[in-house]
């Protein structure tokens, strides 16, 4: 049902966008819209952290480029990164309200703590669109990936890796930050596959998604379970997977057990190629970030029909019901589909992935 809605929304978006470009090409504005503003707009973008490279390498530059393209190069993006500090993000949000930006794209560090700031923006007449993480408070729309599906894909991959050993296998869970609602969805998706199938011997939430905490938690798991007795690690993203694998290696593991990840970070992809990391999940940053830029611009310009076409799904947050939303699908990334995913989408070149250290691993899977 939910997936049918997604497919329908995408189809509607395609129809609506092509219809719009026809109108544009003959020089008119969309007659169905009541534009509030022209192209000279400012989009405020609040991203949560820098420890994972996606935000500064993909999300921000793609949103910036798309906003410019959608506004004849006149629209601007004001960007701030909270570096995993909820207080800092509240201040940054307030600064954007004071600067009277036209719309805010918000990827919350702490979805609950930011709710009062969202309300302030709303009261100041500034729409807020939740980006990637569903912030609480009166937000206007939500754009993200299908986060529960991310967890399901990760969980299923571990079971596949363990094969007939699954029932006897001891699995450690390295989850994301408790203040990020996505982390709860990744965990729920993974548990829907793992529970009752493997033995979950330890489970940690990683404060602020920080590598240093993941390392400490992994050390704790090793001393509690025993290095040789950990058969697999569910790791919510590539940053945490790197920490888990490092800690296992430092402890002297003879063979790294299957470890999951997400984000297709460059070093994550390289670990998948070398066999240190079992899989990652590729989430198309161009799809998510472009749609976010479109939503922001349509909202400010009062292009309601196009806005609705992009947000055909509805989600609830703990504070608000029926939020118009869009969920972008995700893809498992393994050794055999690196070319079809990150290379084909222009995320990395083969040259970037296959550095000297990975030359022979790349050759072994025919990546050239």
Residues that bind ligand BGC (CB under 6 A): 49, 52, 54, 132-133, 176, 180, 182, 209, 237, 262-263
Q: How far is the CB of 62 from ligand BGC (least distance, A)?
A: 14
**Residue placing its CB nearer to ligand BGC in the complex, 144 or 247:** 144
146 Ramachandran zone, left/alpha/beta (phi>0; psi -120 to 50): beta
Token code pair at residue 253: 């593991």
Residue among 190 and 222 whose Cβ is closer to ligand BGC: 190
Is 205 in contact with 183 (CB distance < 8 Å)? yes
**Terminal-residue alpha carbon distance, the chain:** 40
Closer to ligand BGC by CB, 285 or 307: give it.
285
Give the C-alpha separation, 171 to 225, whole Å.
Answer: 10
Query: Secondary structure of 33-69 in the HEC alphabet?
Result: CCCCCCCCCEEEEEECCCCCCHHHHHHHHHHHHHHHH
How far apart (Å, rounded) are the C-alpha atoms in residues 350 and 67?
Answer: 29
Question: Which of 259/300 has CB closer to ligand BGC?
Answer: 259
Written as six digits, the tokens of 125 are 């007449």
Q: What is residue 108's three-state secondary structure?
A: coil
Task: Write the burial class of residue 304 (CB in 10 Å: 0-12 exposed, 13-18 middle, 19+ buried).
Answer: middle
């Amino acid at each position: 049902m939910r997936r049918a809605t997604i497919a329908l929304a995408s189809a509607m978006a395609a129809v609506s966008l092509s219809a719009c470009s026809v109108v544009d090409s003959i020089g008119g504005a969309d007659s169905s819209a009541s534009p509030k503003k022209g192209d000279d707009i400012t989009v405020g973008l609040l991203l949560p952290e820098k420890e994972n490279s996606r935000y500064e390498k993909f999300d921000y530059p793609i949103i910036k480029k798309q906003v410019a393209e959608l506004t004849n190069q006149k629209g601007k993006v004001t960007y701030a990164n909270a570096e995993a500090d909820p207080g800092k993000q509240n201040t940054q949000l307030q600064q954007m309200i004071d600067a009277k930006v036209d719309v805010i794209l918000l990827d919350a560090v702490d979805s609950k703590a930011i709710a009062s700031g969202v309300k302030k923006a709303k009261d100041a007449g500034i729409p807020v669109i939740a980006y990637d993480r569903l912030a609480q408070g009166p937000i206007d729309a939500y754009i993200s990936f299908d986060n529960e599906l991310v967890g399901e894909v990760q969980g299923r991959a571990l079971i596949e890796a363990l094969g007939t050993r699954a029932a006897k296998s001891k699995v450690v869970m390295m989850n994301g930050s408790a203040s990020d609602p996505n982390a709860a969805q990744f965990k729920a998706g993974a548990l829907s596959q793992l529970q009752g199938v493997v033995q979950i011997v330890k489970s940690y939430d990683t404060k602020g998604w920080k590598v240093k905490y993941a390392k400490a938690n992994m050390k704790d798991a090793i001393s509690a379970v025993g290095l040789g007795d950990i058969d697999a690690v569910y790791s919510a993203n590539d940053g945490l997977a790197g920490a888990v694998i490092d800690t296992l290696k430092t402890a002297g593991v003879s063979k790294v057990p299957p470890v999951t990840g997400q984000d297709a970070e460059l070093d994550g992809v390289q670990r998948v190629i070398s066999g240190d990391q079992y899989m990652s999940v590729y989430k198309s940053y161009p799809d998510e970030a472009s749609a976010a830029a479109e939503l922001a611009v349509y909202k400010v310009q009062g292009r309601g029909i196009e806005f609705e076409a992009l947000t055909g799904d509805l989600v609830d947050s703990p504070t608000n019901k029926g939020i118009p939303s869009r969920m972008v699908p995700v893809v498992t990334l393994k050794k055999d589909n690196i070319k079809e995913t990150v290379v084909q989408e222009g995320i990395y070149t083969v040259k970037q992935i296959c550095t000297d250290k990975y030359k022979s691993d790349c050759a072994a899977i025919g990546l050239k």
